[in-house]
Structure 1
Amino acid sequence: MEPEAASIFCQHLKTERSASDGLATSPTGTEYMVIDIGGGTADITVHKKLKDGKLEEVLKASGGPWGGTEVDQLFISLLINIVGSRVWGEFRREFTEEYLDMMREFEVAKRKVDAGDTKDATGIGTTVNIKIPAHLHSTCKSLNKESLMDILTSGNFPYSSKINITADKFMFDKDVIKTLFMKVINHIIKHVQTILDTPKAKNVSVIILAGGFAESPLVQDVFQENFTVKGLRLVIVFDEAGLAVLKRAVLFGHRPYEITARQLRYTYGVALRKDFEKEKHPDSKKITIENKNNCLDIFNEFVTQGTLIDLGTSDKKILYH
């Protein structure tokens, strides 16, 4: 699992100050949250550091579709609001290379967006500039019977007052792009806060950001603003955060038993047949066998979701009817 992988890698990071070498890894007993924000999802887990660098899962992994590609989709939705779905569909289908070039340029621009003021020293709004593909211009003119400039000046779409065209570039006010980011980041912030509010996470003292989307200055700024309080310390994997999972895979090859206990993701059991009890069981499940009323499909639970299970644990149950 990716958050588990990132967690093990983070055990090798220098996150604590010490008198001897200036920095050291976290001490035994530290409980910390790893937030692995990749392209597609945000995966969040809480681990406790045990002796010999081993880990125990305090809270199972959770999260949602709140990665960097969701910002891309919101940017595409913004462009569709401008040119229309018909124009965008034909442009993407017929001029795929230009579409990909545009999205690559947006990816570079994303990495420069931070939480700083949206006004420069002159009071003019700073912008994020994206080159307009030539065939997006022509497709818009052909299908809409009006140019991109005409559409922009009509102002019939969100943020119309904050988007301009100069020569061959879209010029988005910085706060427009920040708004796209915040729609995604706010989901992550809310989910992390929900986890921190649970009793099981009360001892979390460190939050570690990893994953490609965590390299965004805006993501880092927002986390600094929200979670560097109440005794929490934020550690950002600055050096190639997106490679944390890959590097952990190498570490796992050397130490495959580093995770010593995990929270069960599901409740496990089997279906049984038991004596029918009219007060408890629906008539639809009643069946008569040898003049005795039985209830079908009774779930006999072996182990419950959320139970902490040590690695290598085995159990045996013998069932009779």
Structure 2
Amino acid sequence: MDEHNLSIGDSFLVVDCGGGTVDLTVHKILGDKTIGEITERSGALCGSTYVDRNFITFLEKKVGKNAIEILKEKYHEYQYLIHKFFGPHVKFGFNGEPSEFRRVTLDFSRFCPTLKKYVGSNRIWISFEDIIAMFDPVVETITDLIRKQLSSTTQNCSAMFLVGGFSESPYLTRRIKDTFKTTVPYISISQHPITSVLRGAVIYGLNKGAIKNRILTMYYGVEIHPKWETTDPIGRKTREGRIAKFNFLANRGQTIELDEKCSGTYVPIYPDQKEICFRVFATPRYNAKYCDELGMKEIGELYVDLPDIHLGLDRPVEFSLMFGELVITATAMNTKNGKVYRTTFDYAKSDFVFNML
């Protein structure tokens, strides 16, 4: 807070630019100097490896698709080209300033001898425009993600922090600064963007209480089987006259305190039923009705014994989902005998559609 002149109540955006993905979240500094998410986490497959792919596409136009396929089969040579030539000479050496640019020469004999026989000379030249074409589709996706995050909250963002390996790209950081310099007062690029991510993980491990809450990125609920009604699709009516539906327990965009429970009470369908299976689902869709819809994912299940058949349907079970720091805990309690059942689910199982819809 002191280093970046931030105060309680200020918000800041973290943009984690990695190799495969770019992930963004806006946090707010709370009164007890903890932080909480105030926007739904977002991200996309637009990390630095996608600039690498555009470079290979550029080469393919120069030497042909078959030549590139042969190069890829020579794995070590292919990786040497990416990490010893493209990374230092292009990806992390290009800043987008025309007056400072010098045409880049790719020497095949030095970096990828396999390609020599597919070109008329030992080298090709890469122009300013060529490099811009490699970067801009990826950079524009990132700036669009940032723009959407900033517009998803009514609170002005006081600072933006760029971390992750792709933040070492002078061109990426320059584009971000130029695009958002009038929107965000302070934009910081860590001197060690890769190790800053590791350092943050260690700091969090030592003080997990620093994170107060999170914003859910999915709708969570269970499958229920109410009686079929005339307003329901006839094709979904079971032989028993029921229908399987998705019952919401927690909503996407909802602010959840760590270890906060979202609960519901359920009863058996049949008087002689001996157990209930709670099938837990997650979906990004706000209007989901059925558990077999596109984007719906089953993340786990929990079985609960139902003795005391003589009580018939009067055997309510309280079922809850608790959203912890690392896992989702499902808990069910038979209210008649007090027996508790519990299991955990990995967040990764429910975040599978994070970039899908």
Q: Residue 184 of structure 1 corresponds to which residue in structure 2?
A: 138
Question: Taking every aligned residue pair, what percent have the same amino acid on both sides?
Answer: 25
Q: Residue 113 of structure 1 corresponds to which residue in structure 2?
A: 94
Change (3 A) 1:234 1:209: farther
Q: Residue 299 of structure 1 corresponds to which residue in structure 2?
A: 246
Q: Residue 108 of structure 2 corresponds to which residue in structure 1?
A: 132
1:173 positional shift:
1.4
Alignment of 1:37 with 2:9, yes or no, is no
Instruction: Work out whether residues 159 and 188 of structure 2, in 8 Å CA contact, stay in contact via their aligned partners in 1.
Output: no
1:142-168 deviation line (CA, Å, top 9, x unaligned):
xx5xx334xxxxxxxxxxxxxxxxxx4
Q: What are the ranges of 5 or more consecutive residues in structure 2 without an aligned counterpart?
A: 270-357
1:134 positional shift:
5.9
2:166 to 213, 222, 225: 213
Q: Residue 284 of structure 1 corresponds to which residue in structure 2?
A: 235
Structure 2 CA distance for aligned equivalents of residues 99 and 271 of structure 1: 49
Structure 2 CA distance for aligned equivalents of residues 216 and 134 of structure 1: 24
Q: Residue 102 of structure 1 corresponds to which residue in structure 2?
A: 81
Q: Residue 235 of structure 1 corresponds to which residue in structure 2?
A: 187
1:57 positional shift:
0.8
Q: Residue 244 of structure 1 corresponds to which residue in structure 2?
A: 196
Instruction: Work out whether residues 83 and 140 of structure 1, in 8 Å CA contact, stay in contact via their aligned partners in 2.
Output: no
Q: Residue 175 of structure 1 corresponds to which residue in structure 2?
A: 129
Equivalent position amino acid for 2:199 in 1: K
Q: Residue 255 of structure 2 corresponds to which residue in structure 1?
A: 308
Instruction: Work out whether residues 22 and 44 of structure 2, in 8 Å CA contact, stay in contact via their aligned partners in 1.
Output: yes
1:135 positional shift:
8.8
Higher RCO (C-alpha under 8 Å, 6+ residues apart): 1
Change (3 A) 1:135 1:111: closer
Instruction: Work out whether residues 81 and 111 of structure 2, in 8 Å CA contact, stay in contact via their aligned partners in 1.
Output: no
Equivalent position amino acid for 2:210 in 1: E
Change (3 A) 1:259 1:135: closer
Structure 2 CA distance for aligned equivalents of residues 138 and 304 of structure 1: 54
Instruction: Work out whether residues 87 and 140 of structure 1, in 8 Å CA contact, stay in contact via their aligned partners in 2.
Output: no
Q: What are the ranges of 5 or more consecutive residues in structure 1 without an aligned counterpart?
A: 1-10, 17-25, 150-167
Change (3 A) 1:288 1:67: closer
Structure 2 CA distance for aligned equivalents of residues 196 and 139 of structure 1: 45
Change (3 A) 1:295 1:51: same
Alignment of 1:15 with 2:4, yes or no, is yes
| Equivalences, count | 266
Report the secondary structure of 2:62's partner residue: helix
RMSD: 2.2
Change (3 A) 1:288 1:72: closer
- 4+ aligned runs moved over 3 Å, structure 1: 133-140
